[in-house]
Amino acid sequence: MNEIGSSIRRPRRLPPLLSLRAFEAAAAHLSFQRAALELSVTPSAISHQVRALEDTLGRPLFRRLTRQLALTPAGERLFDDLRAGFDALEAGVERLRQPSASQAVTLTTNTAFAARWVLPRMVAFRKACPGIELRLHASDTLVDLALGGADIAVRSGSGNWPGLVSRELMPERYAPLCSPMLGLKRAADLPKHQLIHCDWQPGAAAPALWPRWFKEAGIAPPRGRSMKAAGLSFSDETHAILAALAGHGVALLSLTLAAEELRSGALVQPFGPALDTGSYFLAVAAGHEGEPAVRAVWEWIASQAAEG
């Protein structure tokens, strides 16, 4: 027989839910006062509910020490079971709160950031936001968010864009990076190595270009042919990273986008200085920042950036 439709189901023999919630909170904090803060009641109310639960069960759940609580063996068993049960209840309610149909959010960013920062985190995104379909628009051409070309953007620059609400994610700095196989240690030896160049968008406020780096480092640039003609040049920073990994030369690369290679030792930063090129920002068209799916993506990207 289907139990849901049965009229003879045995009633559950449970103590009052208020007593169970009060005990679970007090056991988690080992404090009636902190449990009261969690449940927005008074400490005496927590104490009363716990005492009523102990009377119902016929055994003590806490040892009440001087200014301290400790669980009895029975209290420990009940706390473990209640915590698992409340966790399951919370998860079930949260699933109901999520939209039943997948919501699509389009994120636009440049090709290097999409490949090097967003894509490696997509598994984590699907776990964090299972009800949202994240569509990635990777292009070095800016999308007009106000016209609906995308819902949310990660851009580098100053963050001062009319009509957009923005939030700084992380500062962006570029430094000379290379494979350790080059054995490069001193900035004075840099002119002996091939330089790897990346194109920057016209109008970039502070592009990380080799002439700027040599000037800030106080080192004379290589003589003869132009620096760009004498080295390798790429339109995509991802390709410049691959060239540096292969040992083809020294590249001015983003410390953010090459973070994994730096952690693993596949690339090294033999010396400075690092060039400040602004920051990465989250941006959304004004008036759309409160949309639930957009906000969820916004908060997830911000949390990932904060973790480094």
| 57-83: pLDDT as tens digits | 999 999 988 878 899 999 999 999 999
Pick the CATH number of 12-97 from 3.30.470.20, 3.40.50.300, 1.10.10.10, 1.20.1250.20: 1.10.10.10
Specify the pLDDT at position 1: 37
H-helix segments, the chain: 17-29, 32-39, 43-57, 73-97, 111-113, 122-128, 210-217, 237-245, 259-264, 292-307
pLDDT for residue 101 is more than 60 = no
Specify the pLDDT at position 102: 58
Specify the pLDDT at position 65: 86
pLDDT for residue 6 is more than 50 = no
β-partners of residue 69 are 64
Give the span between the Cα atoms of 237 and 51, in whole angstroms. 65
Specify the pLDDT at position 99: 53
Exposed (0-12), middle (13-18) or buried (19+): which is 244, by Cβ within 10 Å? buried
Q: Which tokens go with 224?
A: 């003869």
Average pLDDT of the residues in 233-251: 92
Q: Which tokens go with 142?
A: 């800016």
Average pLDDT of the residues in 120-136: 91
pLDDT for residue 53 is more than 50 = yes
Average pLDDT of the residues in 39-68: 91
What are residue 247's phi and psi, to 5 degrees?
Answer: 85, 20
- Share above pLDDT 90 across residues of the chain, in percent, rounded to a whole number: 59
Coil, helix or strand at residue 137: strand
Q: Do residues 147 and 106 make contact, with C-beta atoms less than 8 angstroms apart?
A: no
Q: Do residues 172 and 279 make contact, with C-beta atoms less than 8 angstroms apart?
A: yes
Average pLDDT of the residues in 90-117: 81
Could you tell me what percentage of the chain is helix, strand and coil, using 3-state DSSP and rounding each to the nearest 5?
A: 45, 20, 35
Per-domain residue ranges for the chain?
12-97, 103-170+280-307, 173-275
Q: Which tokens go with 108?
A: 């636009």
pTM: 0.62
Superfamily grouping for domain 103-170+280-307: Periplasmic binding protein-like II (3.40.190.10)
H-helix segments, 106-209: 111-113, 122-128
β-partners of residue 175 are 253
Q: What angle do CA 159, 164, 170 make, to 5 degrees?
A: 30
Give the span between the Cα atoms of 111 and 140, in whole angstroms. 6
For domain 173-275, give the CATH number: 3.40.190.10
Specify the pLDDT at position 4: 39
Exposed e or buried b per residue across 3-26, where buried means at least 16 C-beta atoms within 10 angstroms of its C-beta: eeeeeeeeeeeeeeebbbbbbbbb
* For helices 43-57 and 32-39, angle between their N-to-C axes, nearest 10 degrees: 110
pLDDT bracket for residue 8 (50, 70, 90): low
pLDDT bracket for residue 200 (50, 70, 90): confident
Is 103-170+280-307's fold the same as 173-275's?
A: yes
pLDDT for residue 227 is more than 70 = no
